[in-house]
Amino acid sequence: MLKILHRLVGITGKYKGRIRASYLTAFLKGIMMKAPLVLCFLCISFFMNGEMDSTKCILLGVAALASVLLEALFDHISNVLQSATGYKVFADMRLRLGDHLRKMPMGYFTEGNIGKVSSVLSTDMVFIEENCMGVLSELVTFMISQGLMVVMMLVMDFRLGLLSVLIVAVFLLIGNLMFKTSLRHSVIKQNGSETLSAEVLDFAEGIGIIKSYNMLGEKSKKLTDEFEKSCRESIGFEVAYGPWARALYLAFGIGTALMLALSAYLFCEGFISSVYMVGMALFLFDLFVSIKSYYGQMARLTVTSASLDRIKAVFDAQELKDEGKEVFDDGAGKDLPEIEYDNVSFGYTDKDVLKNVSFEVKNGEMTALVGPSGGGKSTIASLLARFWDIESGRILVKGRDIRDVSLADLMDRISMVFQRVYLFQDTIYNNIAISRPDASREEVIEAAKKARCYDFIMMLPEGFDTVIGEGGASLSGGEQQRISIARCILKDSPIVILDEATASVDADNERAIQEAISELCRNKTLLVIAHRLKTIKDADQILVISDGKVIEKGDHKSLMEQNGTYAHMVTLQN
């Protein structure tokens, strides 16, 4: 448990001093809590010894009042130092997690880690923040207070002291066994929470498909099974923890009774005075409260340990290296290809996707990627934006290896439009301006006009200030696509990656989107993932990608003359 406390203090970073300062105020608060008992003992002692007078009575009363007020003061200071600090610590940690996730390769999010991240944010951090940060100093106080009570017993009589040491040792033994059991079940419980979060997200994201295929019963049963499993694991935690908690309370009761019996025996035999006997009666039920309260926090601390492990696992996930110091120089590199793939190979985990891919894209030209599904077209485009890092070879932009420049500089040069558009639950204005936050309102509106979305935006209740649903759910697919193109137009990057945006929209939207794309692509270098071959007939270069390799290269005319894979694909589409 001390290790867990040390880990909790370790995550507080720059706030560590405030947490440690709270130990002192909590300790003083603990003393003030015990002060009325001590004052009561002194009062009884004065009465029994015939030494009480009005002055002592007033002083004892004032001291008792002062102890109560000081206890409240120290409690307030302790809460300010640790509880408020706990919220600041996790506010900073969430921001650090956001920054960490921003630097992760896309593979991290496609490998089933969304549930883990969601669980860490919504369960683990919240649990520690609300349940543990506010009791750190109290746990330290419990340990110190218990030590003081044992010392007090040793001062009263060495036999009372030895018995109290023995009883504390029994508490430690039970607590250690309880800790191991609780820790094991805490890991199971928190892992189950992660699985449940992933299942809930999967169900929510796929609700449209689930309904359309009438799979509510099947999918609901799977989700219900996860809830029931989570319930069993939580109850299992309590069942495993319960017997040890009862043993702890039993030890408290038996230990208190033994201390009372020994005190009575020592008094009857004349080893302790009647004043000490009365003192024992006062302190008796407070002797082992500290250690009982300390181990009473066991459940939340073991869950905290499992939560800290899961938080650490997310932070330990390796980020994409972003150590590049070089900068793009358009003037010096004007004669170089805008984009160059040099023997690029890449694979996802144990699956090879690209094998020694090489090609160039000149400044201002359009290169189209075509080929069968799963051939590697989207991967080629994603690698240019460093969603992943390549295994071998080089990807150059203006002669610079993209790993030798910062990610921020690289992304400033690239705009991306994909079929699957994501819009944030925010105003339309902010959804467009996200690509260039320093843009003026006039520039945002002009980008919307070029993207052919100004008219439908102005028909919305609040115009550009209309808040759209998460993912753009309140807009049609074509409207979402045009807003995403407006983003790219506003960004005005020299390279545009385009996953053919009209592949799944209606004819009216297709015309508007084609006009918007024409505005976007003017004087830009294009890398287009093509699904409708008729849209790339005028491309400067067409690459046919199959099984991770470039199997054909040329313009539309030359490829048709080769009568190979591309010509066959065109014939099939026609």
Looking at residue 529, its pLDDT comes to 87
Q: Listing from the earlier edge strand, what are the strands of the sheet with 400-401?
A: 351-361, 339-348, 392-397, 400-401
Looking at residue 333, its pLDDT comes to 62
Contact 490, 436 (CB under 8 A): yes
- Enumerate residue ranges in the chain where pLDDT < 70: 1, 110-112, 134, 205-220, 330-334, 349-350, 470-473, 500-510
Looking at residue 66, its pLDDT comes to 93
Looking at residue 485, its pLDDT comes to 86
CATH superfamily of 2-316: ABC transporter type 1, transmembrane domain (1.20.1560.10)
Residue 521 burial (10 A CB sphere; 0-12, 13-18, 19+): buried
Tokens of 524: 């830009």
Contact 382, 106 (CB under 8 A): yes
Decide: helix, strand or coil at residue 165. helix
Q: Class for domain 324-412+529-574, per CATH?
A: alpha beta
Q: How far apart are the first and last CA of the chain?
A: 71
**Where is 542: in which H helix or E strand?**
strand 541-546
pLDDT in tens, 406-417: 888 888 888 888
Residue 355 and residue 219: Cα distance in Å, rounded?
Answer: 39
Start-end of H helices in 499-564? 507-521, 556-562
Please give the angle made by the CA atoms of 502, 503 and 507, to the nearest 5 degrees. Answer: 55
Residue 60 and residue 380: Cα distance in Å, rounded?
Answer: 82
Q: 370: closest CA among 512, 520, 572?
A: 572
Instruction: List the domain boundaries for the chain.
Output: 2-316, 324-412+529-574
Instruction: Count CB neighbours of 64 within 10 A.
Output: 16
Tell me the CA distances in angstroms from 87 to 10, 64, 79, 141, one per residue in order. Answer: 15, 34, 11, 21
Tokens of 461: 């209740």
pTM (two decimals): 0.67
pLDDT in tens, 339-357: 999 999 988 766 778 888 8
